[in-house]
Amino acid sequence: MWLYWIWLPAKKGEKREQRFIVSSRQRTPQTARQTGRRRWKIEALFKTLKSRFAFGKFGQKTKLGVLRYLCLSVACFFLCHFEHLDQIAQGQEVSSWPDWAALTGQVRMKCVGWVRLFELEKEMEQILAVWDGARQHAA
Protein backbone atom coordinates (compact mmCIF):
# COMPACT_ATOMS: atom_id res chain seq x y z
CA MET A 1 0.00 0.00 0.00
CA TRP A 2 1.19 3.44 -0.85
CA LEU A 3 0.16 6.66 0.89
CA TYR A 4 0.42 9.99 -0.90
CA TRP A 5 -0.56 13.48 0.01
CA ILE A 6 -1.27 16.07 -2.61
CA TRP A 7 -2.25 19.71 -2.54
CA LEU A 8 -5.35 20.63 -4.50
CA PRO A 9 -5.36 24.01 -6.25
CA ALA A 10 -7.02 26.77 -4.26
CA LYS A 11 -10.27 28.33 -5.38
CA LYS A 12 -10.62 32.10 -5.25
CA GLY A 13 -10.47 33.33 -1.68
CA GLU A 14 -9.79 29.89 -0.19
CA LYS A 15 -6.76 28.03 1.08
CA ARG A 16 -5.19 25.14 -0.75
CA GLU A 17 -6.54 21.81 0.45
CA GLN A 18 -4.39 18.82 1.33
CA ARG A 19 -5.68 15.36 0.45
CA PHE A 20 -4.34 11.95 1.35
CA ILE A 21 -4.53 9.12 -1.18
CA VAL A 22 -4.07 5.42 -0.53
CA SER A 23 -3.17 3.31 -3.55
CA SER A 24 -2.18 -0.27 -4.24
CA ARG A 25 0.25 0.91 -6.94
CA GLN A 26 3.29 3.08 -6.67
CA ARG A 27 2.71 6.36 -8.47
CA THR A 28 4.06 9.86 -8.44
CA PRO A 29 1.86 12.42 -6.69
CA GLN A 30 1.22 14.13 -10.05
CA THR A 31 0.01 10.85 -11.58
CA ALA A 32 -2.20 10.21 -8.56
CA ARG A 33 -3.69 13.71 -8.92
CA GLN A 34 -4.36 13.21 -12.66
CA THR A 35 -5.97 9.83 -12.04
CA GLY A 36 -8.14 11.39 -9.33
CA ARG A 37 -9.27 14.15 -11.68
CA ARG A 38 -10.22 11.63 -14.36
CA ARG A 39 -12.11 9.48 -11.88
CA TRP A 40 -13.91 12.55 -10.53
CA LYS A 41 -15.06 13.47 -14.05
CA ILE A 42 -16.41 9.95 -14.52
CA GLU A 43 -18.21 10.16 -11.16
CA ALA A 44 -19.68 13.53 -12.16
CA LEU A 45 -20.91 12.00 -15.44
CA PHE A 46 -22.66 9.15 -13.63
CA LYS A 47 -24.17 11.58 -11.12
CA THR A 48 -25.56 13.61 -14.02
CA LEU A 49 -26.88 10.49 -15.74
CA LYS A 50 -28.59 9.33 -12.56
CA SER A 51 -30.07 12.69 -11.55
CA ARG A 52 -30.90 14.39 -14.86
CA PHE A 53 -31.52 11.41 -17.13
CA ALA A 54 -33.14 9.09 -14.52
CA PHE A 55 -30.64 6.24 -14.83
CA GLY A 56 -31.14 5.55 -11.14
CA LYS A 57 -34.89 4.98 -11.53
CA PHE A 58 -35.23 2.60 -14.43
CA GLY A 59 -36.77 -0.74 -13.60
CA GLN A 60 -36.09 -2.72 -16.72
CA LYS A 61 -35.85 -6.47 -16.18
CA THR A 62 -34.84 -7.70 -19.65
CA LYS A 63 -31.76 -7.05 -21.75
CA LEU A 64 -33.91 -5.57 -24.51
CA GLY A 65 -35.62 -3.21 -22.06
CA VAL A 66 -32.29 -2.04 -20.67
CA LEU A 67 -30.94 -1.57 -24.21
CA ARG A 68 -33.98 0.48 -25.23
CA TYR A 69 -33.72 2.62 -22.11
CA LEU A 70 -29.99 3.11 -22.65
CA CYS A 71 -30.54 4.12 -26.29
CA LEU A 72 -33.23 6.64 -25.32
CA SER A 73 -31.03 8.08 -22.58
CA VAL A 74 -28.04 8.41 -24.89
CA ALA A 75 -30.25 10.09 -27.49
CA CYS A 76 -31.47 12.55 -24.84
CA PHE A 77 -27.90 13.23 -23.77
CA PHE A 78 -26.80 13.93 -27.34
CA LEU A 79 -29.76 16.23 -27.99
CA CYS A 80 -28.84 18.22 -24.88
CA HIS A 81 -25.17 18.22 -25.85
CA PHE A 82 -26.00 19.53 -29.34
CA GLU A 83 -28.17 22.24 -27.78
CA HIS A 84 -25.19 23.23 -25.61
CA LEU A 85 -22.94 23.37 -28.70
CA ASP A 86 -25.60 25.44 -30.48
CA GLN A 87 -25.59 27.94 -27.62
CA ILE A 88 -21.80 28.20 -27.83
CA ALA A 89 -21.98 28.72 -31.62
CA GLN A 90 -24.55 31.51 -31.18
CA GLY A 91 -22.20 33.27 -28.77
CA GLN A 92 -24.40 32.89 -25.72
CA GLU A 93 -22.58 32.96 -22.41
CA VAL A 94 -22.36 29.37 -21.21
CA SER A 95 -20.44 27.74 -18.40
CA SER A 96 -17.91 24.97 -18.91
CA TRP A 97 -20.27 22.50 -17.17
CA PRO A 98 -23.75 22.84 -18.69
CA ASP A 99 -26.97 23.12 -16.71
CA TRP A 100 -28.59 19.89 -17.90
CA ALA A 101 -32.02 20.77 -16.49
CA ALA A 102 -32.16 24.00 -18.49
CA LEU A 103 -30.88 22.24 -21.60
CA THR A 104 -33.51 19.50 -21.38
CA GLY A 105 -36.22 22.14 -21.07
CA GLN A 106 -34.93 24.00 -24.14
CA VAL A 107 -34.66 20.80 -26.18
CA ARG A 108 -38.18 19.81 -25.14
CA MET A 109 -39.58 23.17 -26.23
CA LYS A 110 -37.72 23.07 -29.55
CA CYS A 111 -38.51 19.46 -30.44
CA VAL A 112 -41.97 18.82 -29.01
CA GLY A 113 -43.28 22.25 -28.03
CA TRP A 114 -45.77 22.04 -30.89
CA VAL A 115 -47.42 19.03 -29.20
CA ARG A 116 -48.27 21.13 -26.14
CA LEU A 117 -49.53 23.97 -28.34
CA PHE A 118 -51.78 21.52 -30.21
CA GLU A 119 -53.14 20.20 -26.88
CA LEU A 120 -53.84 23.74 -25.67
CA GLU A 121 -55.61 24.57 -28.93
CA LYS A 122 -57.87 21.49 -28.60
CA GLU A 123 -58.59 22.32 -24.96
CA MET A 124 -59.44 25.90 -25.91
CA GLU A 125 -61.88 24.63 -28.55
CA GLN A 126 -63.54 22.38 -25.95
CA ILE A 127 -63.87 25.26 -23.47
CA LEU A 128 -65.36 27.53 -26.14
CA ALA A 129 -67.82 24.78 -27.11
CA VAL A 130 -68.94 24.49 -23.47
CA TRP A 131 -69.33 28.26 -23.20
CA ASP A 132 -71.35 28.41 -26.43
CA GLY A 133 -73.59 25.59 -25.15
CA ALA A 134 -74.11 27.42 -21.85
CA ARG A 135 -75.08 30.62 -23.67
CA GLN A 136 -77.61 28.79 -25.85
CA HIS A 137 -79.24 27.16 -22.81
CA ALA A 138 -79.37 30.49 -20.98
CA ALA A 139 -81.13 32.21 -23.89
Q: Give the number of C-alpha atoms closer than 13 A to the C-alpha of residue 106, restricted to the C-beta side.
A: 16
Cα–Cα distances (Å) from 78 to 53, 67, 96, 109, in that order, read 12, 16, 16, 16
Mean pLDDT of 99-112: 87
Per-residue pLDDT reduced to its tens digit, 16-46? 888 888 888 888 878 877 888 888 888 887 7
The Cα–Cα gap between 104 and 94 comes to 15
Domain ranges in the chain are 1-52
The pLDDT value recorded for residue 119 is 93
Residue 96: pLDDT above 80? no
pLDDT tens sequence across 36-93: 888 888 888 778 777 776 766 766 778 888 888 888 888 988 999 999 898 888 888 7
pLDDT at 126: 94
Answer for the pair 6, 34: CB distance below 8 angstroms, yes or no: no
Model pTM score: 0.48
